[in-house]
Structures are given as C-alpha cells and as structure tokens.
Amino acid sequence: MRPVRLMKVFVTRRIPPDGWAALARAADCEVEYWDSDEPIPAKELERGVAGAHGLLCLLSDRVDKRLLDAAGSNLRVISTMSVGVDHLALEEIKKRGIRVGYTPDVLTDTTAELAMSLLLTTCRRLPEAMEEVKNGGWSSWKPLWMCGYGLTQSTVGIIGLGRIGQAIARRLKPFGVQRFLYTGRQPRPQEAAEFQAEFVSTPRLAAESDFIIAACSLTPATKGLCNKDFFQQMKSTAVFVNISRGEVVNQDDLYEALTSGQIAAAGLDVTTPEPLPTDHPLLTLKNCVILPHIGSATYGTRNTMSLLAANNLLAGLRGEPMPSELKL
C-alpha cells in the first residue's frame, strides 16, 4: 500500500489553542510553524512557505509576488487570521488560482467595544486625568479642570457603515447620540435605518460631526482620506477616532491638526507604521491616545479567529467550501 502524501501547511506564528488543536488533528497535513509570538523574518517566511500547499498568516505578514514565487506552484490556499486583507496581493493571488480565507464577523463585537472604549477614553481625557492623580496635579475640585466632551445630544460621523461601523452605532445609541451621519462607497439604507443614519459626503461628515470614527476598509479610495483638508473641515471641539487601518490617516496632518487646535483630540488603535516608533511626535501629545492595535484582543475572540482561520485552511486544502472565503 502506497503511503498517503501529506499536504504541507506553514503557519507564520504561534496561534491560540483552538486553532492549533484543529491543525494538529488534521491527519492529512504536515504542519510547520514559526515558533514565536514575534513576526517571522522575510527570509525565514520564504524558506518556510517553499513547497507548501497551505499558508496560515496574520495581518502583519505581507504576502506579495515575491513570497508567492517562493512558495511555488503547490500553494492552493492562504488563510489569514484577520478580517482585513490589505496585506495580501489579491490580484496576484487571483491570477494563480489560490483560494483565500479570512475571519469576518467573529471580531465585530470585540472591535466595536474597543472603539467605544477608545472614544470615551479620548473624549473624557482619561489618560491625562490618571496622570494628574499620579503626579500630584490633583489638588482640589475645580469647575473646568479635566473637562472633556460628552456624547449626549451629539452628532457622530462614521466612516464606513459596515459590520463594525453598525456595531459601534448600536452601542452609541444608549448614550443619547442625537444624530448619526455616515459615508462610504454607496448609501446603505437598510443598515442605516436602525440608527436613522444619514448618508452624506465626506466633507459634510467632517464639518457637522462632534465625534468621527473611521471604521472603513483600506482601499485606494480610503488611503489618506483623513488628511489636512479633512481635519480643517472638522470642528475645533471634535474628537477623531481611527480603528480601521493606519494608512487611512495622514499622520503628519493629524499631528498638525492636534497641535494647532484644529481639532480637540484623537484616539488611534491603528498607526503607520506598526509598531509606532517610540519617538514619534504623536506620542508627545496629551490630546492623542494611541493603542497598539488591540481591537480584537480578547481571549475569546482571538481563539475564535484562530479556529476559523484553521478551518478555512483545512477546508480549502480538501476542496471543500470554506466557512469564510473571500471571493476574488
């Protein structure tokens, strides 16, 4: 009897236990992985993926033409443990007939929770207030000391009313937001009806919103969307939050807007680059809260993401429908 030929799978990082267990149970696969929580060096990734039938990667792994060439003709499936796919050379992948799995939906609620946390932390100046407690700045109660901006009766603008944008709006409603605006590629009347949200142009959203949350995908149309012109149109009391992708924002223009008083504050869970250098000018500002891209960072969500990514990979390798396949 001829031995069964195993399919080679390469995983670019240690992944949470549920996903790893699913791969370990796959009797038809030989799994290799980069045994670290840190990003795999490019040369090691090229070496690891050579001859692989399947690749499980993260959003920090750039899958470009060079890597696809290094993988060779065996590569049939790429599964990314992310909802974003801007790290994948999709046109090149499509040309080679490679299937792609991703992890939408499972991180929607967790990311929306983080957006709410970041918005409230920024608009109510919580990091500044905590620092004042620690450094002795808290001397007595003062009428205007540490005042920020409240959500009640406000106008909130959401850039991208997709799954995450809707989940954010759903959580904002009980805070007494008076009006929702949104912008995107096209109106989404069915989704917007729940919030009575109005589809407007990007300049109008910038001009009329008290709080703006970027929750869009990174596309050629959204790259650099939030730039000098955008910030100049915003109210001087407005707060800007980005939980989408760092490249949606021109960070030099954001720094200028924050230091000149064009806008009141900003909260970022995503930056360019990632990680942001510790000497970056934005990190010197009290009115800018920056988090290390932790939108989906709960134990439950990351475990679910890893399992979905593993199941996408295994289904694709076996010629079965993937639980979540990106249609190219």
Structure tokens at 185: 């590629």
Query: Rounded to an integer, what distance in angstroms lies between the CA atom of residue 73 and that of residue 69?
Result: 8
Contacts of 166 (CB under 8 A, 6+ apart): 191, 194, 195
Contacts of 125 (CB under 8 A, 6+ apart): 146, 147, 148, 265, 287
293 is catalytic: yes
Structure tokens at 133: 């407690």
φ, ψ at 41 (rounded to 5°): -60, 150
Name the nearest CA neighbour of 44 among 18, 67, 65: 67
DSSP string, 203-269: HHHHHH-SEEEE-----TTTTT-BSHHHHHHS-TT-EEEE-S-GGGB-HHHHHHHHHHTSSSEEEES
Name the nearest CA neighbour of 45 among 78, 20, 19, 92: 78
Strand partners, 92: none
Query: Rounded to an integer, what distance in angstroms lies between the CA atom of residue 299 and that of residue 304?
Result: 9
The one catalytic residue among 53, 87, 280, 293: 293
* Amino acid making up residue 256: E
Catalytic positions are 293
